[in-house]
Homo-oligomer: A and B are copies of this chain.
Amino acid sequence: MTLHDASLAGPGPWAGISTAAIAHNLAWLRRRVQTAGAQAGAGGGAGGAPGSPPRLWAVVKADAYGHGLHHALAAAGAADGVCVSDLDDAWRVRRQGWQQPVLVLSAWGLRADTLRDPALGELHVVIDDPATLHTIASAAPGLPQLHVWLRHAGHLYTLGFAGTAYTDAFQRLHARAQAGALAGVGHLHHYAAAENADTLAVERQAFATAAAGLPGPHCTGNSAALCGGAAIPVHAQDQWLRCGLALYGASALPGVTGPQLGLRPAMSLRARLLNVQHVAPGQTVGYGGSFRATQATCIGVVGIGYGHGVPRQLWQRGGVLAGRHGRRVPLAGRVAMDCLTVDLGAAPPEAPGDIITLWGHAPGGACLPVEEAAQACDTIAAELLTGLTARTPLITE
């Protein structure tokens, strides 16, 4: 769809997606990761690929964090592979022409015969529960094309294996790989609190301990671990790093936005100003009379609401960018299903039809990072980005 589509003449909103921003963010991450690899090379390594930089998985689950799978794939060519939620998404990625490896993060309910589909290409799956372990480890006559990653339960402790169960599961899979019944077995860890340098160090140590003495590549990462101040430790063994949120230009670090790190927001959520209503002092506006004018002002009605994916919680502390240049104005009154209201002030330059930007860049450049909108809703950027409903089309910008 383009901005000239007839449907955009209607009152509804859209999310402008910049594939250039995703490509920029991927290059930014690649530089971070290559620096870590160069440091490891200087230090020497005893494992399989000493000095080679870690490889990068671009996480495109949840419809590429709400940006549209096709947009992310178009921009992720420089990644070494993509991570998806489930096997349906793996097929979707292949149908869209992605040739590099695909990592399926939940193998729940998979059957061995399904995993043999050659259309799946180089397929990696995470094993995170006993049932899947059994399915994969007992598949006859093996799955010699399949790469598996054993999930370490770690501090998240919701999926995966811990302690001797981890070692036992790994040895069982490793023996299968040695016998040619699997392509390879790696170690995978997902951090519970990577945004905190102290807990990150503890988690890294716990994973290193769990995998100590065991062969195979390591897979960790996440945006907070990659973007924070802590150095990225490089294992002597082959290493893959996963990155999601930062790929889309947002930061997982508290109090720091993507643009402050050098990332570019890939989504700009836009709607139209539908009406401008003059209100007198004392006049209330919105459901429950939730806004009361303290002086004469103009209330702008914007064609986006919670039914499109804007949290109702935004109204008490949130703002938007009004017009082409992105004049920042506060919300005024509760968010409704199909519209919300903003306080444009007494003599606003904006008129019905003008673009209102909920997060991302105003058409003329000013930026309201999604992290700020999330903070106004007491939540995280990922919830806002992945929370748009099907009523909000994704448009290339």
Binding site for B on A (CB under 8 A): 7, 9-12, 61-63, 66, 85-88, 105-106, 108-109, 128-129, 131, 153, 155-159, 192-193, 199, 272, 274-275, 277, 279, 283-289, 299, 301, 303, 306-307, 309, 311-313, 333, 336-339, 341, 352-353, 378-380, 382-383, 386-391
A307 to chain B, nearest CB (A): 4
Q: Are A11 and B337 touching (Cβ within 8 A)?
A: no
In the assembly, what is the distance between CA of A291 and CA of B109, in Å?
27
In the assembly, what is the distance between CA of A61 and CA of B391, in Å?
10
A129 and B192 in contact, given A158-B285, A285-B157, A307-B386 (Cβ under 8 angstroms): no
Of chain B, the residue at the smallest CB distance from A385 is B307
Indicate which residue in B11, B128, B337, B383 contacts A386 across the interface (CB closer than 8 Å): B337
Q: Are A106 and B159 touching (Cβ within 8 A)?
A: no
Enumerate the 4 nearest inter-chain pairs by beta-carbon distance, A residue then B residue, closest first: A62-B307, A307-B386, A11-B108, A390-B390
Within 8 Å CB of A387, what residues of B? 306-307, 309, 387, 389
Q: How many protomers of this protein does the assembly include? A: 2
In the assembly, what is the distance between CA of A338 and CA of B62, in Å?
8
In the assembly, what is the distance between CA of A301 and CA of B129, in Å?
11
A395 to chain B, nearest CB (A): 15
In the assembly, what is the distance between CA of A108 and CA of B7, in Å?
12
Q: Are B157 and A277 touching (Cβ within 8 A)?
A: yes
A72 to chain B, nearest CB (A): 14
Q: Are B391 and A389 touching (Cβ within 8 A)?
A: no
Residue with the greatest number of chain B CB neighbours at <10 A, chosen from A274, A333, A382: A274
Q: Are B275 and A128 touching (Cβ within 8 A)?
A: yes
In the assembly, what is the distance between CA of A342 and CA of B306, in Å?
27
A159 and B275 in contact, given A11-B108, A306-B386, A389-B388 (Cβ under 8 angstroms): yes
Q: Are A339 and B129 touching (Cβ within 8 A)?
A: no
Q: A157-B279, A157-B286 are in contact. List 15 more A-B contacts (CB 8 A).
A: A11-B106, A61-B307, A62-B391, A63-B389, A63-B390, A85-B338, A153-B277, A155-B289, A158-B333, A159-B274, A192-B288, A313-B313, A337-B382, A387-B389, A389-B390
Q: Are A158 and B86 touching (Cβ within 8 A)?
A: no
A-B contact pairs, 23 of them (CB 8 A): A10-B88, A11-B85, A62-B391, A108-B274, A108-B275, A108-B303, A128-B275, A129-B275, A157-B277, A157-B284, A158-B299, A158-B336, A159-B301, A193-B287, A193-B288, A306-B387, A307-B386, A312-B379, A313-B313, A337-B382, A337-B386, A389-B389, A390-B390
